[in-house]
């Protein structure tokens, strides 16, 4: 990662910033709002996000949940520098989202895996490495390692259309991980999968998260999925999207099939569901307790 920005608190992280309390904050949104101005006369102006305050700590797994159209994708796109904020600020690794993108701090995974059918799976995963000029032998080895990580090691020679939906999505995850991103942004990546595959993918993703230590921001409309995966669930209200509640998920860090049978798991699902309902009722969108903006202690790395 290029250490270009002088103001970056995480640049080399060695001695100088040891006492910096925000050094472990990967994403810091403050008063972030987004308005889409209509392009033509008569177009409606859409207030998509209002006053988003959120700090994501290193190693966290954050889910964004909220009704359709509440700005979840927009929020993710703001963090990934695919769109800008209308007001407020966003910092990633202590620098601008733009700089973070240039430094390739991100990996992104979308609902439909964007794989190129004419390339093999292996060469799809190599693509970001190719673009960044990684030498052939090195990128081949890295892509193979990433395919092993998502348990597709034997399918590198296949083409995407020869894989199931779940396998394609794993290939897309492998590609997103190829550049060792600090931050994985995932927009409903399992939305198109059947329930069984989705539950398996959830476990796979948690395994990858553990093995890589990456920070994840994950958009979903599934309450159980959000609770199962996350260290914190961020609940949003309808448009303009605001954060109404942040639910810390105090389940044991190690999640498996039994997690879904735990009483605490059901209680948390209920908590999130009620928070969503309260948010949809409108009105109850007061500011988030500033104490909850920061990462829950003990979740790092
Ligand atoms: P979600 O992902 O929660 O379903 P989105 O972030 O996609 O919601 O969209 C939030 C709102 O912003 C919606 O009303 C949507 O129509 C609007 N919106 C999103 N992108 C654009 C755009 N590029 N131009 C205009 N309006 C947009
Ligand atoms: Mg969306």
Q: Are residues 210 and 277 in the same domain?
A: yes
Q: Six-digit token pair at 102?
A: 């240039």
Same domain, 127 and 98: no
135 CB-near residues (< 8 Å, 6+ apart): none
pLDDT at 152: 92
The predicted pLDDT at position 10 comes to 40
Considering every ligand atom, which ligand is closest to the CA of 241?
A: 1
- Asked if residue 205 and residue 84 are part of one domain, the reply reads yes
Q: Is the CB of 221 under 6 A from ligand 1?
A: no
- State the Cα–Cα distance between residues 187 and 210, nearest whole angstrom: 20
Q: Which of 133, 150, 180 is the C-terminal boundary of a domain?
A: 180
Among the candidates 125, 151, 180, a domain finishes at 180
Q: What is the pLDDT of residue 208?
A: 85
pLDDT score at 299: 33
Closest-lying ligand 1 atom to the alpha carbon of residue 187: 2
Residues 210 and 86 occupy one common structural domain? yes
Residue nearest ligand 1's atom 25 by CA: 36
Residue 112 Cα to ligand 2 middle (Å) = 12
Site to substitute for ligand 1 among 32, 73, 191, most atoms within 8 A of C-beta? 73
Burial classification of residue 60, based on how many CB atoms lie within 10 Å of its CB (0-12 exposed, 13-18 middle, 19 or more buried): buried
Measured from the CA of 83, which atom of ligand 1 is nearest? 23
Compute how many other C-beta atoms are within 10 angstroms of the C-beta atom of residue 38. 10
State the CATH number of the domain containing residue 271: 3.40.50.300
Are 169 and 128 in the same domain?
A: yes
Q: What is the structure's pLDDT at 76? A: 96
List the residue whose alpha carbon is closest to atom 7 of ligand 1: 73
Helix, coil or strand: residue 31: strand
- 250's tokens: 């105090």
What is the per-residue pLDDT for 14?
Answer: 43
Q: What's the confidence (pLDDT) of residue 22?
A: 45
Which residues in the chain show pLDDT less than 50? 1-23, 283-287, 289-292, 294-301
Of the three residues 151, 180, 209, the one that is the final residue of a domain is 180
Residue 47's DSSP bridge partners are: 35
Q: Give residue-wise pLDDT tens across range 159-168.
A: 999 999 889 9
Residues 170 and 223 placed together within one structural domain of the fold: no
Q: Looking at the domain assignment, is residue 4 inside a domain? A: no
In angstroms, the CA 259 to CA 194 distance is 20
Are residues 97 and 146 located together in one domain of the fold? no
Q: How many domains does the chain have?
A: 2
Q: Is the residue at 120 inside a domain?
A: yes
Contact yes or no for 203/32 (Cβ under 8 A): no
Residues 28, 99, single domain; the answer is yes
107 lines ligand 1 (CB under 6 A): no
Structural domain harbouring 141: 115-180
- Indicate which residue's Cα is closest to atom 27 of ligand 1: 36
Cα torsion 218, 298, 104, 112 to 10°: value is -20
């Amino acid at each position: 990662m290029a250490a270009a920005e002088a103001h970056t608190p995480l640049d080399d992280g060695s001695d100088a910033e040891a006492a910096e309390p925000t050094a472990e904050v990967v994403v810091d949104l403050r008063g972030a709002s987004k308005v889409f101005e209509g392009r033509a006369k008569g177009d409606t102006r859409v207030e998509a996000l209002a006053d988003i305050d959120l700090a994501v700590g290193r190693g966290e797994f954050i889910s964004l949940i909220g009704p359709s159209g509440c700005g979840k994708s927009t929020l993710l796109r703001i963090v990934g520098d695919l769109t800008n904020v209308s007001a407020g600020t966003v910092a990633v690794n202590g620098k601008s989202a733009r700089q973070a993108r240039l430094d390739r701090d991100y990996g992104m995974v979308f609902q439909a895996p964007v794989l190129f059918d004419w390339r093999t799976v292996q060469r799809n995963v190599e693509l970001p490495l190719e673009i960044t000029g990684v030498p052939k032998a090195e990128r081949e080895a890295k892509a193979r390692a990433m395919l092993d990580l998502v348990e597709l090691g034997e399918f590198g020679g296949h083409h995407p259309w020869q894989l199931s939906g779940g396998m394609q999505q794993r290939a897309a995850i492998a590609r997103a991980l190829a550049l060792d991103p600090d931050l994985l942004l995932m927009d409903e990546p399992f939305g198109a999968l059947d329930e069984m595959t989705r539950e398996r993918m959830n476990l796979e993703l948690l395994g990858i998260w553990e093995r890589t230590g990456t920070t994840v921001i994950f958009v979903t409309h599934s309450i159980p999925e959000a609770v199962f995966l996350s260290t914190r669930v961020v609940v949003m209200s309808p448009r303009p999207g605001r954060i109404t509640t942040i639910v810390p998920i105090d389940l044991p860090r190690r999640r498996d099939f039994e997690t879904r049978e735990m009483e605490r798991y059901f209680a948390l699902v209920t908590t999130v569901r009620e928070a969503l309902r309260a948010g949809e009722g409108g009105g109850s969108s007061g500011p988030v307790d500033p104490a909850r903006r920061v990462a829950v202690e003990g979740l790092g790395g």
